[in-house]
Chain A
């Protein structure tokens, strides 16, 4: 069964420090991977995606993610965190041969808290 795991419920970093939000996946075929961000009482905003190609994907707001096939991971990173990055982050996957058509499977989310 396809699944996504975000092992940390919360990540705390100081402003200006690098941040990493972890994600691992399990799919039967080639993975299509996504990161989204959600601010309180709002919808999700797309950050970046990995379909194929370079393992380092650059996205919105200075975020990037590294795809690692051998470790089945897709960690979200940013070199220098901002207080405004504080939000709920979701990793999602779509299996190319998934049962749910084009729908995404989401992780449970990681709350990022950046302190000033």
Chain B
């Protein structure tokens, strides 16, 4: 988990609330990613960003929003439009470019529960 921090570790949300999950990396990586993990479904891509001030939707972006104002930070907001937000959220980062593809490094995760 080194180099990528996520906070909080546990988060509880009431119906109708927006909540923001923090992700910070000190690895000087260009690319950052948000995944959602549900039991038995593996990891699904929510959003990714390859450069500051630019990001792309993944497979399940509906009900989520992100920003990338700094290279080190990629916060994820879970909006009230997300129908079933209870899940484990993982942030990752990786180097871009080079002659080989580089692996992603993951943070420790945030477990979000809707009350």
Residues of chain A at the chain B interface (Cβ within 8 Å)? 9, 32, 34, 36, 41-46, 49, 51-52, 90, 94, 100-109
Q: State the total of A-B contacts with C-beta under 8 angstroms.
A: 68
B41/A46 in contact, CB under 8 A: no
From A9, A32, A106, A108, B101 is in contact (CB under 8 Å) with A32
Q: Is B63 among interface residues, defined by CB-CB distance under 8 A?
A: no
From A43, A51, A90, A102, B1 is in contact (CB under 8 Å) with A43
A103/B48 in contact, CB under 8 A: yes
Please give, as numbers and ranges, the residues of chain A lying within 8 Å of B6 by CB-CB distance: 43
Query: Known contacts A46-B103, A51-B101, A109-B42: does B31 contact A102 (CB below 8 Å)?
Result: yes
A94/B101 in contact, CB under 8 A: yes
Query: Known contacts A41-B109, A43-B1, A44-B106: does B42 contact A108 (CB below 8 Å)?
Result: yes
Please give, as numbers and ranges, the residues of chain B lying within 8 Å of A52 by CB-CB distance: 100
In angstroms, how far is the closest chain A Cβ from the Cβ of B70? 19
Please give, as numbers and ranges, the residues of chain B lying within 8 Å of A101 by CB-CB distance: 31, 48, 50, 56
Interface of B is mostly: strand
A43/B58 in contact, CB under 8 A: no
B100/A46 in contact, CB under 8 A: no
Q: Is B22 among interface residues, defined by CB-CB distance under 8 A?
A: no
A42/B40 in contact, CB under 8 A: no
From A42, A46, A51, A106, B43 is in contact (CB under 8 Å) with A106
Those 6 A-B pairs whose CB atoms lie nearest each other, nearest first? A43-B106, A108-B42, A106-B43, A44-B106, A32-B101, A106-B42
